[in-house]
Chains A and B, each alone.
Chain A
Amino acid sequence: MTDSPALELTGLVHRYARSYVLRGANLQLARGEVLALYGSNGAGKTTLLKIMATALSPSRGTGKILGFPLNDQQRIRGKVLLVSHHLGLYQELSGLENLEFSAKMSLKNTPKASLQIALERVGMGSVTARVRAYSSGMRKRLALAKMLILEPELVLLDEPFAALDPEGKNLVEELLTLERQRGTTLIIASHEPERTAKISSLETTLQNGLLSEPNAPRLA
């Protein structure tokens, strides 16, 4: 499976009620690539990422994620991490407890010391408060700490730079660059091409439900 492409999507169609969001999107991506996904609001970027993460099933079309067919959800879920707008954090748990829960549910025996190191890597090593008290930037950092402990093969990021101060944006850029160097395949849906282009190796645009042919980033 490791020599198979990271993504092979063919003719993906998705609709909500009568409204078509994807109209036959195709995409092939090799492992280790970093794809910047652009498109206007409502273009279907989040829907596409959710289909890749198996959070949504496409209305039509076929595909493979890391060599596994889209309907082999459990295997895909063990290797893919989706960091979406809704970060999936428990408000009454601390950052460390949220990470511990994620590690256990991902069937990893991660020692607490490693979880603490991951928190320190995202600049939250000394924060012991519950997530309810976090700012949106701190929540995003915590969600990215999941990436460090779960070590997924494919990371899908929906607006990773949104709601972050310049320091936070630099940190995300640094973390994603390290992930790229580690060989992780990244797909970054973003409205900030100037930042995303620094990390990405390819870019594509989702427009009218179709994806453009991936090209080298123009702003790099």
Chain B
Amino acid sequence: MNPWRVILTIAAKDWRIEGRARDVLTATIFFAGLVVMILAFAFGPESTRLRQAAPGVLWVAIAFASILAASRAFASEAEDGALEALLLYPVPHELIYLGKLLSNIGLMLILALLVVPLTVLLYDVKVGEKLLLLLLTVFLGVIGFSIISTFQSSLTVNLRARESLLPVLIFPLVVPVVIGAVKATTLIVTNGSGGEIWGWLRLLIGFNVVYVTVCTLIFPFAVES
């Protein structure tokens, strides 16, 4: 068995479904775009003020959009008993989690690719040569959010109060991601030192490595009856 083939099969199936239904992307892009624009109007036209607010606004938009995406991550599996069928395939359940995670990361990265330029534009952010660091921060932050939100989504897939429970379950766990991502982005926007930026990025990398390992190992126990 080639584990990558299983992971990619699950992710490709989800992307194909999303490409047709557009459940996740339509809702998250609209929501994140609205947050970025409303807050831009609220902070007014002063460039310095806008630049100071940009990192917080960017991550508020991504964080809340990730909750929306999470509530839909297992939705296609909830219909017609697809989750039960998925769990009955002769593949380790760890690979099912990783496949769902990959699919969620892909969708969130598409969202981030739209939200980041919109924020840079509306908030007059000048990243210059630190553009790659900003993209790396967004990449690591999105992965961090996705690791937790995909896992929690699998736990709540069969609950009626799923959508109200998810934020309560997700946010306490992603506090390190929020802090690391906002701090790193603030330093990038305000031309902070590379050493300090890398310190926060290392926190994000560490979080992602630890939590992807923990969630992958726990997932089979969480979904087995």
Contact = CB atoms under 8 A, between A and B. Distances in A.
B88 A82 contact: yes
A73 B92 CA distance: 10
Given A54-B88, A78-B90, A105-B9, A92 B80 contact: no
A55 B84 contact: yes
A48 to B, nearest CB: 14
Contact of A104 (B5, B86, B225): B5
B49 interface: no
Interface in B63-103: 76, 79-82, 84-92
Interface in A7-58: 53-57
Contacts of A130: 20
Contacts of A86: 80-82, 84-85
Contacts of B20: 92, 130
B17 A90 contact: yes
Interface residues of B, number: 26
A53 B9 contact: no
A88 B77 CA distance: 8
A88 B1 contact: no
B80 A89 contact: yes
A84 interface: yes
B161 interface: no
Contacts of A55: 84, 87-88, 225
A215 interface: no
Nearest to B5: A104
A4 interface: no
Given A56-B225, A74-B92, A90-B76, A104 B17 contact: no
Contact of B13 (A54, A82, A101, A107): A101
A112 interface: no
Contacts of B224: 57
A87 interface: yes
Interface string B1-33: 100011001100100110011000000000000
A92 B9 contact: no
B85 A107 contact: no
A171 interface: no
Contacts of A102: 89
Given A56-B225, A57-B224, 12 more contacts: A86-B82, A86-B84, A87-B81, A89-B82, A90-B82, A92-B20, A92-B76, A97-B16, A101-B9, A104-B5, A105-B10, A130-B20
Interface of A: 53-57, 74-75, 77-78, 82, 84-93, 97, 101-102, 104-107, 130, 139
29 contacts: A54-B88, A55-B225, A56-B225, A74-B91, A82-B88, A86-B82, A86-B84, A87-B81, A88-B80, A88-B82, A89-B80, A90-B13, A90-B76, A90-B82, A91-B76, A91-B79, A92-B16, A92-B17, A92-B20, A92-B21, A93-B16, A101-B9, A102-B89, A104-B9, A105-B89, A107-B6, A107-B90, A130-B20, A139-B80
